[in-house]
Structure 1
Amino acid sequence: MTSPVTAPFRVDRRRVATLAGTQLVAGVGVSGGIGVGALLAEEISSERWSGLPQTMIVLGSAIAAVPLARFAGTHGRRASLTLGYGIAVLGALVAFTGGALRSLPVLLAGAALTGGGMAAGLQARFAATDGVPDSRRGRVLSLVVWASAAGAVLGPNLIGPGTRLGAALGVTSLAGPWLFAVTTLTIGAASIALLLRDGRPASAPPRRHIRTTLTAMLHHADGRLGLIAMATGHAVMVGIMAMSSVHLHGHGSTLRFVGIVVSAHVAGMYALAPVFGWLADRLGARAVVGLGGALLLAGTACTWSSGRADAGSGSHAAAEAWATVGLVLLGLGWSAATIAAATLVAVLSHHGGATPTDVQGVADLTMGLAGATAGALSGVAMAAWGYQGLSIAGAVLLAPLLVALMGHIRTGALPRDGSATA
């Protein structure tokens, strides 16, 4: 079976620009909320629960993944993405209210709804590959991911102005950044609704149950590797990142420095996305998944060194340096692993017995649940083992990815023309 797209490759520039521009703007809101969520939860509760806001954002994204994907299959990408960003706007308003009321349950409810924006952002990368030949899906997908960089890097740096806004409004200062999220996510939803053009509805295979689709993917070498890489990379990144601001701030780092480190991490997640997308198309996604795993492992070694520096010698400057390097490497590893894995999923979704958006939704669901679980346990792990122990746990989580890579080498990769059965 060959790729259904036989015409010469041609980018729909307006479509890609709309998706990329929306990711840039909306990324400010989502990353700003992630950056302040742990600190706000710690302020109104305790360190033990400080990882829950990011966990709920990721969990909300996982819960929304399949419904939004199916909605896209029946109503088009524009309607689905607009709905996702709209839900996120409501979530940011609720999260701000939770901070103003100093209510952890309300804050967590808002964070979960904000995850709808993250789900829409993940779906946007697959939307960019609609109608694109298999051999170019990695590059096109990565362009939308790359566009998230500017907004995601800017978001954490708005923590300072956001806290001043919160204080000026007479609420807890850390609630203020959520108001920036309301604004940027609203712009994102409006941009999709007004500017995105859906292609002609294409005939698709009948819909299948989530479990059936998941089973079929796990029985295919590329589907299995894609799912495990997305889940593992996301779990390691989310689990360690969720506690990094607490680790740094709790040992004397300023909010400004925390914002810079988070921005450096997010830059690692997105800045080299086009490079990884190009490599996935040229060298094969399997090799880039392996590169991502190696970078993630190096990142956990550096964050472990950061925890050791604080716990041992007491040199916080060294701890800050190791944390910065480690978080950048985690960002790069996440980028390589998830872009390559998403490329495998994007190709496979157009060559199986299920609707493409259903396959893509199941992949995002798996990724989100893995990240949510890691985020939920990160605070408990941090309280019990410290930042060192959390980093070791992250390294251990990479074991399934190594096993999957070895198994994939034995079974062989997807043919270059993208043929598959799933």
Structure 2
Amino acid sequence: MKKTPNMQFENSLEFAQKLDREDPMATYRDQFLFPKVNGKDAIYFVGNSLGLQPKIAKDYVDEIMKDWAELGVEGHFYADKPWWDYHERFSEKLSKVVGASPSEVTVMNTLTVNLHLLMTSFYRPEGKRFKIVCEEKAFPSDQYMVASQVRFHGYDPSEAIVELKKRDGEQNFRLEDILSTIREVGEECALVLIGGVNYYTGQVFDMKTITKVGHEVGAMVGWDLAHAAGNIELQLSDWDVDFAAWCSYKYMNSGPGNASGCFINKRFHGKKDIPRFEGWWGHNKDRRFLMEPEFQPEPTANAWQISNAPVLSLAPYLASLQLFDEVGMKKLIAKRNQIVAFLEYVLHDIDRQVDSNFEVITPANQEERGTQLSVFLHGEGKELFRYLMDQGVMLDWREPNVIRLAPAPFYCSYEDVFRFGQILKEGILSKQK
């Protein structure tokens, strides 16, 4: 047994089933569609890569298809959910997920596109203030984006990009090292742009403190929340973040490659002179169809909208957001904490039973992690990963020898965690025979 602040865990089927019976969110599992492996529902631990499809998503898409068939172009104004302001239906519900005012949130484009667009407004190098602070080995798309932005402004990435470093032999970043680097760059720092949750290790950064120190040196501070939105508690308004963006297809279950959410601090709303790539869907809504030549920005984050909303792709996101609004982040996080703690316990128990050498590289501190546990399988290779996949455990492999496990609280059960442990044990022992 392992004692936690809430209970003592046991690595048994009976105990896992007891946790499921007591789980106030257990019924939501039935609201998602699971892929089948060997005729059975997969044990799906890749919600950090692509969330499962909510069953109601099809209804939301079918509604638009029906309106399109029956109304044609008139669907823009006379559909049950008119298309011309479809994106506005996200603001209130999504603001609760990310801790913002509804006016500070919008949905458009995809993640890297939005980060580029936001950097147009918030990365404005001038004189000696031209450097960007980001984490080393960030997700490759972010690395490419940042490098291309500094080159676009005429700088050498090797001079303009300052990477936060981990200490030798350590898997995670230390807060004191992050803050000291920002302070050291000081008046040369134009922008701090970090992933709120590190995609590789699952480490959650202290966004409040980092944002504060970034502002103290006079820099803008933005966050890539791809692995944070719908996963951890966010208070973007209270933390005084300048901007943020996130994809919706991981923990928010909107479908592959789907639309991105954006946060833009209300300090920047209603300004005509802010640098920004503009389009007619960011123009004053009440005057949009007057086709005026001069841009008048919407007085909200919607000023950063460019084109009319892609409603067919937004529909699954709106469906999933309905579930988030029903449950609320508080309940999701409560289950997340317990199911991840149970997974960690099962991993250590199996490790002990098979005399293997697993290393959980995600921080043990609950405040520094979300749904994901990243595990070094020392002594085990990709053969074990393939065995797990063949046995119906869907998980993620990262070089050189790491599996990422993300038991999303909406649809993963404690029995899933137990059964994963047994399959993991069988896979290791079968290789030892």
Q: TM-score range by the shorter chain?
A: under 0.3
Larger Rg: 2
**What is the TM-score when the length of structure 2 is the normalising length?**
0.24
Greater share of strand residues, 1 or 2?
Answer: 2
The structure whose residues are more often helix, as a share, is: 1
Q: Under a length normalisation based on structure 1, what TM-score does the superposition of the two structures give?
A: 0.24
